Amino acid sequence: MTYVAPNSIQARDIASIVHPQTNLATHMTQGPVVIGSGQGCFVTDDNGAEFLDAAAGLWCASLGYASERLARVAYEQMRKLGYYHLYRGTTNENSVDLAEKLLSIAPVPMSKVLFQCSGSEANDTAIKLVWYYHAAIGKPRKRKIIGRKMGYHGSTTASISASGKADMHADFGLPLADFVHTEYPHYYRDHLEGESEEQYATRLADAFEALILREGPETCAAFIGEPVMGAGGGLPPPRTYWDKMQAVIRKYDLLFIADEVICGFGRTGNMWGCQTYDLKPDMVSCAKALSAGMQPISALLINQRVFEAMLDESRKLGNFAHGFTYAGHPVTTAVALETLRIYDEMDMIGHVQRVGPYLQDTLARLMDHPLVGEVRGIGMITGIELVADKTTRALFDPARKVGARVDHFARKHGLIARLIGDRVAFSPPLIITEAEIDEIGRRLRLALDDTWAELQGRC
């Protein structure tokens, strides 16, 4: 049990806050880590300990921390118009400017933008529009949303139902009806002996089609997927996977929602993950790096096909009965616009294309470590698979909590990563330098060495 001083921030936190994705019982005795400040790619806790944040917060702090420029934009906008809504035909200039900008850089032609506050809300909205669309075209039985095992699309009720995360469904009575999940595209873990990535991708596309046929194509409405899986482990797809999955989507006339909440705005080395993998979605959700994590904002881009159906329903019903209080908030849209300007000025895409391969090469050098079975990534996102046996690809018994051990030692060495079971994911701020990437590699190796020694009983 950790000592928590009375009346400290930690004690007050324990008494007042419920933390997401946290063991609540453990938290009651150990308390939180208090982050007091940040600069560039580093954050500092209340004891003065500095950490290199190789997870960019929750995948989102693309410009790092403490941006004076974005703070000034938010301040000036709050002085001018601190809030207004988009309900009942009202608008503000920032919302219009941001919508135009997003449509101009969209990975495929898009027609309109809906604003929300989070990636969860954007994906929730997309799911509602799938149902709205099929009702409008006279196919109300097409209700089923197909996600992927280990996919993650948010914590709202519909978005987490579309996600394939059993731990996030447990005892919430989820997923809701009409949500089903196809295979987790993890080639390293699941391929058969002698099976190439292309053959594995074919097997997964065949399984996807078989799922649609079992459920009934007349009831299947849409597929939702991240170009690169984030909470699934920082996992890029196997070769030819997306070509084959999209062929099935088109064959059965499903709508395709591309979840770009993590991948969008440079993470994969292009503005969009859709461009990296040549995806042709009907809707694109984005958030996180849209404001560099500095303001809560998300956007859903929809194509003309979807918007035409929305128009028909609005004529029929007299109103598009959907929306959020803070959609198109003038402060969040101002910060998002300035963030996109910064990306352009810095040539952020070019920077990721230059530095991303250095990140991949640096982490790939850890393949010689006895704990590391695979290192796989693209751009500024990488996943490292921890294994008990490199030859057989056998995983550790979850009870040994090897990932948690790596996390503990990483923080001891001043490194924050994202642990997903026994997979370590990296998504550093996009501004990271080669010298800072060297530090990620050095600190992670120390953490892996400490974990290996503990597992061998040497410490």
CA distances from 34 to 11, 48, 415 (A): 11, 10, 15
Instruction: Quote the strand ranges of 183-341, DSSP E.
Output: 220-225, 255-259, 283-286, 298-302
Over the chain, what is the mean pLDDT?
Answer: 97
pLDDT of residue 32: 95
Q: Are the C-beta atoms of residues 171 and 160 closer than 8 Å to each other?
A: no
Q: Are the C-beta atoms of residues 359 and 266 closer than 8 Å to each other?
A: no
Architecture of domain 33-66+348-455: Alpha-Beta Complex (3.90)
Report CA Rg, the chain. 22
pLDDT of residue 1: 58
Encoded amino acid at 91, one letter: T
Assign domain 70-346 to a CATH class: alpha beta
pLDDT of residue 33: 95
Give CA angle at 242 (118, 390), nearest 5°.
Answer: 95
Where the chain has pLDDT below 50, the residues are none
Global pTM? Answer: 0.96
Q: Are the C-beta atoms of residues 288 and 295 closer than 8 Å to each other?
A: no
Non-local CB neighbours of 246 within 8 Å, separated by 6+ positions: 256, 279, 280
Q: Residue 92 and residue 289: Cα distance in Å, rounded?
A: 22
pLDDT of residue 5: 87
Number of residues written out for the chain: 459
pLDDT of residue 451: 98
Q: List the chain domain ranges.
A: 33-66+348-455, 70-346
β-sheet bridge partners, residue 256:
223
pLDDT of residue 3: 78
